[in-house]
Amino acid sequence: MTRKRQQLLCITSLIAFAALAAGQANLRADASQTVQAPRFEVDPYWPKPLPNHWILGSVIGVGIDARDHVFIIHRGDSTLNQRTEAGAAANPPIAECCRSAPPILEFDPQGTLVKAWGGPGQGYDWPESNHGISIDDQDNVWIGGNGRGDAHILKFTHDGKFLNQFGKAKLTTMDSNDSTRFGRVAKISFDAKAREAYVSDGYGNKRVAVVDMSTGKIKRFWGAYGNKPDDANLGPYNPDAPLAQQFRNPVHCAEPTNDGLVYVCDRPNDRIQVFRKNGTFVKETRIAPATRGDGSVWDIAFSRDAAQRWLFLADGKNERVYVMDRQSLQIVTTFGDGGRQPGQFFAVHSIATDSKGNVFTTETYEGKRVQRFVYKGVGPVARVQGAPWPKR
């Protein structure tokens, strides 16, 4: 190695070390600063243990009904390893434990399992890969699917009776300008007064679609910045490139608000885009824009006050929840970190709030769980909290 090369490597190492030290110093500074924000403590005892040697696969959605019952949906057998996790489901069984719970589980506010149901049935096409669960104002249950052929939405009663299928399964091509079919739906949200559902459509298509809640008819749709959707391949996300004028897959959420806006998760582009309900672009913000791969903007929930002052954003790549001022889109604080313990995350995927202000999260991939974070009122918290462990 030449002397000049040795000097270059030394200088590069010093610069990298200085950047790392600066980043750690900033993190310590953020952790030492306090702000006024909603405070939470993880409840390590919620939910209660499941019966029947049941376990969860990748938990891919969470929704709350009118009684603050918590619904989750998971992928079960397709994401469980029979040799190491689900020996009772092997053929022949290789152990007494364990086996997958049914796809949809309902818990009461205390974390007791109330009902479990779901899966293939007569009259409808269960998704190849279920994705997202949402409860409308009539306590009906809606799910999407992001499997290769999933081009539909399913609607059930609160107790699991099939009501309707919007769209057809077995999709072979994607078309974000198709007004009759969906393209691998991530999630459904609702504007009950307008009787409209907002569909993040999603893993195949690249759009927000608004549908009639009764008929499932697509009424309007749009792409990033309110543009006409375009299915051209944008290539890998590059944080230093000009901002993409279209969504990347997946468009992971589309959440309407009481004041006539829609907040959209453009997940791999690391941004929240805000629209009026007619699709007019209003503003955007980038979240951890250096995040590649799965992206940083996974799911959004709002606080339950009339003004919906707070926005809670799940970031499954950086393993945290951001607490944001909804109007300004400024990050006020974060909680969580990567890990297996309560209050930590492995691919935090979905997020929801109940009427008491509690936050619920689910984890996909190897995370495979649901967690409850108990609301403790607004007060002083660190800008970077880590796992919000209960006070002793």
Residue numbers of the chain with a pLDDT score lower than 70: 1-31
Element holding 167 (H helix, E strand): strand 162-167
**Starting at the edge strand that comes first in sequence, how are the strands of the sheet with 299-302 ordered?**
299-302, 310-315, 320-325, 330-335
* The pLDDT of residue 172: 79
Cis peptide before 127 (omega within 30 of 0): no
DSSP one-letter code for 338: B
Contact 126, 156 (CB under 8 A): no
* The pLDDT of residue 12: 39
Contact 74, 57 (CB under 8 A): yes
Q: Which residues contact 101 (CB under 8 A, 6 or more apart)?
A: 50, 52, 54, 55, 56, 74, 76, 116
* The pLDDT of residue 10: 45
- Cα separation of 11 and 23, whole Å? 18
Q: Which residues contact 382 (CB under 8 A, 6 or more apart)?
A: 30, 31, 32, 33, 34, 35, 333
